[in-house]
Amino acid sequence: MHMARFKLFQASFLIALALGAPSRAQTRPATSAAKASFNRDIRPVLSDNCFACHGPDTKKLKGGLRLDLRDQALKPAKSGQIAIVPGKPSESELVRRIVTQDEDDLMPPPESHKVLTQAQKELLRRWIAEGAEYQGHWAYLPPVQPPVPGTWNAIDFLVQRRLTDLGLQPSPEADRRTLARRLFFDLLGLPPKPEDVASFERDPSPDAYSKLVESILASPHYGERMAIGWLDVVRFADTIGYHSDNPRNVWPYRDYVIKSFNEDTPFDRFTREQLAGDLLPNSSLQQKVASGFNRLLLTTEEGGAQPKDYEARMLTDRVRAVGAVWLGQTIGCSQCHDHKFDPFTMRDFYSMGAFFSDIKEPIIGRREDGMLVPDNRQAAELDRLEEIATRAQHEFESPRPDLAASWESAVRETIEAEKHWTVLAPEKLVSAAGLKLTADNDQTITTERDPRNGKDTYRITVKTNLKGITGFRLEALRTDKLPGNGPGRAQDGNFILSEFSVDDAQTNKIALAEATATFEAEGFPASAALLGKNDANHGWSIRSSTGVNQAIHFVTKEPVAAEGDTTLSLVLKQSAGANQVLGRFRLSATTVAGGIRAGKTALPPAEIVEIVKLAAENRTEDQKLKLAAYHRSVAPELAGLRERVAEARKAKSDFEATVPRCLVSISMDKPRTVRILPRGNWMNETGEIVQPALPGFLRTPGKVPEDQSLNRFDLADWLVSRENPLTARVFVNRLWKQFFGIGLSKVLDDLGAQGEPPPNPALFDWLACEFMDSGWQVKHMVRLIVHSQAYKQVSTSPQNLQARDPYNRELARQSRWRLDAELVRDNALAIAGLLVPRIGGPSAKPYQPDGYWENLNFPVRTYDASQGSDQYRRGLYTWWQRSFVHPSMLAFDAPTREECAAERNRSNIPQQALVLLNDPSYVEAARAFAVRILKECHGDEAARITWAWSLALSRAPRPDELETTRALLDKHLAQYRGETKAAEEFLKVGSHPSPPNVDPAELAAWTNVARVILNLHETITRS
């Protein structure tokens, strides 16, 4: 069968030739097969074996010899010998040293454990004999688009030319079922529905394939599929990574990526928005979200972490990210020394890091909540609430000369009364909640933090020589160190004094007759703080007049009779909870006969007192404003208005709490200082200070003036400029892997000297140029690739081709590989009919084994699996806990995203079997799949198995497959009929309900059939 199709393809190829595709002889550049090519043959050998000591890292240079630069290699080294004499291998020291028997002279030296093969030695000798011509490193040379005859798909022309050179034949085109599945998995990450495959198979039109491609590209799931690889390489995750690995708000960035791929945002814009979206003029909300890219790195909240240490870690993290995402360079090495293989210096490294030194962020500790990212509806609501709040604020701030005059006279009275009060000096301060209470020089008492359950009782013991005390005063004092400026610790600065009492030295209660206050919140009068007049939820409170000084005065029933020093304990019970406890206060007593009742106002802060004492005409403008503001904040007449302002603000902040947020880049005016850290040591501050600069070896001299200061936007601009030969190559290389399973150069994160020179450089260059010329259109590249004959080939191959080209580097066939972790999940959920197609939103939590997070701490966390439809989201929405990535994902090689991951392992391990067999997500999917089989197909067993097969595999089972499956079904059906309880247990796995009228035994047996199908290698393989 293969042979037949193969011949057909050959025939069509020949026809294409006959129809005008220029013949090979005309288009192929004459290659003199004998001549050694520096980039292809020589550089890899020199780089791997010699550059560590004779390469770009000048600090490690041995014998004064550099082999990476031709003029250096041709000069006499320290020894006086000349390493390379072009055309004269016998006079070249290099040749002598690699062939010598003398262990002392041999290169590479034996202790390096590097050994040159005989072939490599011969190659070096021949290359010198041929003139020792150097070439610039292939990836640093600008890509040049090779000419391609117009009638050809360029990919096919360039692949075919290479195959012909190698004497290989292309494989035939795959059947339509395979093509449909391939396109669906590659472009959407979802399996096709049987009807999708059927209509494509039946479509006789010549553009059937194009129509399918276009319909797939128009699906919103395309963006989800494309996002997966990007999220890996930018290390997108929901948590900070180090130590406590706490959550942070970043998911709107993920949705930005999906949206960008769906809208085919040109890659140059995509780049600029992520690196510098915040710096774009009038940047949109989405562009700011894009700049969240700069915040995706690892951070720590660990106690004892040192800011300088983490500043250095964060800088290097970001430089590595630019290297991985855009440059395909392993520049991390240059943190400690000049790169050993590539011309990247330490200065380049730290100068690159300096681009990010303007980003506002805490170096250690919790991340901020981030920018609000409202959708249109939410934005409108925010505007409405803001308007209400502004209006209330405006009204509140209008001048009140009428009220001010009487208030000022009240203040003067209070000032006058002050001389009758004696401040009590605490001897002992006890908090029932065990908090530390501290008294200042002026006897002001402050608390250090919130009590654990939000309640507390303070017992303040004082010694006084006052005789005949007639009253006590508790001043509740404002401070900007407390929420809402105090005096309480509650969010709005409130407190509730549940009960105030005074014990004498014998712990007898001193009877209090009366309580008055400068302000009383509605329902919380001063009198409620008297002994016996309150319950746990009541007391004196000042809500709506917080943020200013207030006072409560108590009058004793009888003067406190005492001789000499008396010890008194003042007890402040505050049992309302929610941190409604005093944060700052002071206690006083008076002996004025009959006590002192509270006036209209408490003694204001000293600054206000001074202003009040001044005659109105002597007050400065600033003083007038301050006085008016203070008055507004205490005036009892304005309590209602204050409450309205507070409520309007609260309504807005409550609504804000429901709006998504995202960490984004915010540029600081004064960037952090960046120094070169000698040997990468952050404790060494002797290094030179550097400014943002582009890597020297890639920059066109003179293009950017040396004295111009650069920012992230300039970096982004340069990354996507024609001047930079790497970005386009790096992107198309990753893209290629998505469609062929391996890159054009196989090491995706290293296009440097230690990477792999591409086997087909012409093809690589053509694609890179095309990408730039198209205006960086990703969909254009995708179309080109999937329309190529190379893409459409079968993935099976005869033994001899497998042996010739085991990794399919030459594209004489397609490749096959197991689906990525997220898609393994999506595929099962889609087959089961459980998959929720909603795009974007907060990350979801699929079922996870209990205790998997037991080694997380600060705080200890439990995992609450998502409820309802959120349980069935696509894999890419899975909550990404860096230190404990979801175990199902991890088993299928999802990276932890602690570091940028340009590619994933593709392992085949027993954990994958355990996941597909036993993970409740897959057991539930199997059950839902079984329900579909029973409900949607009304045939006999064979018909149902066949239907299931077409749903999962887009084909009918072969007779032997049917037989195997039916045997299992019959056996388990019989067993479950006798074990209904077991069947019912089995069907309880997962929260998705089964329809009520299904026979449990039948459903259980079919669930096992469904499990078999979901576990098949073919089911989880793209071919």
Partner 1 sequence: MNLHADLRQFLLQRQTRRAFLGRSSQGLGTLALASLINPTILKLAAAAGAGKKDSLTGAVNPCHLPPKARRVIWLTMAGGPSHLETFDHKPKLAEMHGQPMPESFTKGKQIAQLQGAKLVCFGPQHKFKTYGQCGAEICELFSHIGSLADELCIIRSMTTEAINHDPAHMFMNTGSQIAGRPSMGSWVVYGLGSDAQDLPGFVVLTSLGKGGQNQPIAARQWAAGFLPSRFQGVHLRSKGDPVLYLSTPPGVTREQQGDVVQAVNVLNAKHDAIVDDPEVSARIAQYEMAFQMQASVPELMNISQEPQHILDLYGCKPGDGSFASNCLLARRLAERGVRFIQLYHKDWDHHGGVKEGIALKAQEVDRPCMALMTDLKQRGMLHDTLVVWAGEFGRTPMSQGGDGRDHHNAGFSVWLCGGGIKPGLSFGATDELGYNAVENIIAVHDLHATMLRLLGIEHTKLTVKFQGLDARLTGVAGTLIDGILA
Residue list 304-323, contact with partner 1 (CB under 8 A): 304-306, 309
CA distances from 115 to 8, 90, 110 (A): 48, 21, 8
Question: Binders of partner 1 among 323-352, rule CB under 8 A?
Answer: 330, 332-333, 340-342
Interacting residue with partner 1 among 793, 866, 965, 994 (CB under 8 A): 965
Query: Is 104 near partner 1 (CB under 8 A)?
Result: no
Angular region, 212: left φ>0, alpha ψ -120 to 50, beta rest: alpha
CA atoms within 13 A on the CB side of 723: 18
The smaller minimum CB distance to partner 1, of residues 261 and 947, is found at 947
Work out which of 405, 911, 935, 956 binds partner 1, going by CB under 8 A.
Answer: 911
529 Cβ contact list (under 8 Å, min separation 6): 497, 498, 499, 500, 515, 539, 540, 552
Nearer to partner 1, 15 or 914 (CB): 914
Strands (E), 890-929: none
Cα–Cα dist 606/310, whole Å: 43
The overall longest dimension of the chain from CA atoms, in Å, is 124
For residues 383 and 807, which CB has a smaller minimum distance to partner 1 in the complex?
807
Report how far apart, in Å, the C-alpha atoms of 107 and of each of 41, 71, 78, 754 are. 18, 21, 16, 19
**Which of 280, 429, 982, 998 is close enough to bind partner 1 by CB under 8 A?**
982
Segment near partner 1 (CB under 8 A), from 97-105, 159-167, 302-310, 771-779? Answer: 302-310
Is 357 or 912 the residue whose CB approaches partner 1 more closely? 912
Q: Is 864 in the site for partner 1 (CB under 8 A)?
A: no
Determine if 45 is a binding residue for partner 1 (CB under 8 A). no
Our finding on whether 841 is near partner 1 (CB under 8 A) is no
Interface pick for partner 1 out of 176, 987, 1003, 1022 (rule CB under 8 A): 987
C-alpha angle 436/439/440, rounded to 5°? Answer: 135
* Nearer of residues 20 and 849 to partner 1, judged by Cβ: 849
Which of 702, 851, 868, 995: binder of partner 1 (CB under 8 A)? Answer: 851
**Tokens linked to 487:** 């005096």
CB-based contact 727:326 (threshold 8 Å): yes
Closest distance of CB 972 from partner 1, Å = 6
Q: Which of 26, 34, 113, 686 binds partner 1 (CB under 8 A)?
A: 113
Strand order in the sheet with 499-503: 426-431, 456-464, 566-574, 499-503
992-1011 binders of partner 1 (CB under 8 A): 1004, 1008, 1011
Q: Under the criterion CB under 8 A, does residue 468 sit at the interface with partner 1?
A: no
The amino acid sitting at 925 is: A
Q: Is residue 303 a contact residue for partner 1 (CB under 8 A)? A: yes
The minimum distance between CB 1021 and partner 1, in angstroms, equals 8
Residues 248-277 that bind partner 1 (CB under 8 A): none
Cβ–Cβ < 8 Å for 690, 350: yes
Residue number with CB closer to partner 1 (534 or 793): 793
CB of 114 to partner 1, least distance (A): 9
Radius of gyration, CA atoms only, the chain: 38
Among 915, 928, 930, 948, which residue interacts with partner 1 (rule: CB under 8 A)? 915
The span from the CA of 444 to the CA of 463, in Å, is 16
Show contacts with partner 1 in window 736-775 (CB under 8 A): 746-747, 749-750, 752-755
Contact by Cβ (8 Å): 332, 292: no
* Structural contact between residues 789 and 779, judged by C-beta atoms closer than 8 angstroms: no
244 is an interface residue for partner 1 by CB under 8 A? yes
Q: Is 918 in the site for partner 1 (CB under 8 A)?
A: yes
**Per-position x/- string for 561-600, each x denoting binding to partner 1 as judged by CB under 8 A, each - no binding:** ----------------------------------------
* Tokens, residue 503: 């014990």
Separation of alpha carbons 272 and 279, rounded Å: 9
Q: Which is nearer to partner 1, 717 or 893 (CB)?
A: 893
By CB under 8 A, tell whether 119 contacts partner 1: no
- Nearest approach in angstroms of CB 812 to partner 1 is 16
Cβ proximity to partner 1, 408 vs 984, nearer residue: 984
Q: Are 764 and 745 in contact (CB under 8 A)?
A: yes
Number of Cβ atoms within 10 Å of the Cβ of 442: 9
Options 263, 418, 440, 985; binder of partner 1; rule CB under 8 A: 985
Nearer to partner 1, 586 or 897 (CB): 897
Q: Judged by CB under 8 A, does residue 611 bind partner 1?
A: no
Q: Is 237 in the site for partner 1 (CB under 8 A)?
A: no
Sites for partner 1 among residues 507-566 (CB under 8 A): none
- φ/ψ of residue 315, rounded to 5: -60, -45
How many distinct helices (H) and strands (E) make up the chain?
Answer: 36, 17
Say whether 793 sits in a helix, a strand or coil. strand
- Is 799 a binding residue for partner 1 by CB under 8 A? The answer is yes
In the complex, least distance from residue 445 CB atom to partner 1, rounded to whole angstroms: 24
Phi, psi of 106 (to 5 degrees): -60, 135
Q: Does position 211 bind partner 1 by CB under 8 A? A: no
Nearer to partner 1, 569 or 1008 (CB): 1008
| Measured distance CA(25)–CA(203) in Å, rounded | 38
Contact present, 512 and 556 (Cβ < 8 Å):
yes
Q: Is 944 in the site for partner 1 (CB under 8 A)?
A: no
Parallel, antiparallel or unpaired: strands 550-560 and 1021-1022 = unpaired
Number of chain positions touching partner 1 (CB under 8 A): 104
Instruction: Give ∠ CA 618-620-624 in degrees, rounded to 5.
Output: 100
User: CA 690 to CA 710: how far, in whole Å?
Assistant: 12
CA 86 to chain centre: 53
Closest approach, Cβ 910 to partner 1, in A, equals 4
The answer to whether 298 contacts partner 1 (rule: CB under 8 A) is: yes
Question: Shortest Cβ distance from residue 908 to partner 1 (Å)?
Answer: 5
Q: Which of 54, 813, 972, 1022 binds partner 1 (CB under 8 A)?
A: 972
Question: Ramachandran region of residue 468, left (φ > 0), alpha (ψ -120 to 50) or beta?
Answer: left
Binding residue for partner 1 (CB under 8 A) from 62, 96, 243, 838?
243
Contact by Cβ (8 Å): 503, 565: no
User: What's the closest the beta carbon of residue 123 comes to partner 1, in angstroms?
Assistant: 19
Instruction: Report the alpha-carbon distance of residue 333 to residue 57 in Å, rounded.
Output: 11
| Per-residue tokens: 69 | 């630069």
Q: Helices 712-719 and 267-276, interaxial angle, to 10°? A: 160
Kindly tell me which residue out of 418, 440, 607, 1018 binds partner 1, with binding defined by CB under 8 A: 1018
Nearest one of 956, 1009, 952, 1018 to 190, comparing CA atoms: 952
Closest CB to partner 1 among 51 and 267?
51
652 counts as binding partner 1 under rule CB under 8 A: no
Helices 1000-1015 and 910-918, interaxial angle, to 10°? 150
We find the least distance from the C-beta atom of residue 975 to partner 1, in angstroms, to be 7
Question: Does 53 interact with partner 1 (rule: CB under 8 A)?
Answer: no
For position 24 contacting partner 1 by CB under 8 A, the verdict is no
From candidates 683, 943, 956, 974, binder to partner 1 by CB under 8 A: 683
Pick the stretch among 220-228, 257-265, 540-548, 1013-1021 that binds partner 1 (CB under 8 A): 1013-1021
820 binds partner 1 (CB under 8 A): no
Assess 241 for contact with partner 1 (CB under 8 A). Answer: yes
Q: Which of 71, 850, 864, 940 binds partner 1 (CB under 8 A)?
A: 850
DSSP code string of 80-113 = S-BS--TT-GGG-HHHHHHH-S-TTT-SS-GGGT
Q: Is 375 in the site for partner 1 (CB under 8 A)?
A: no
Look up residue 519 and give its two tokens: 């302000």
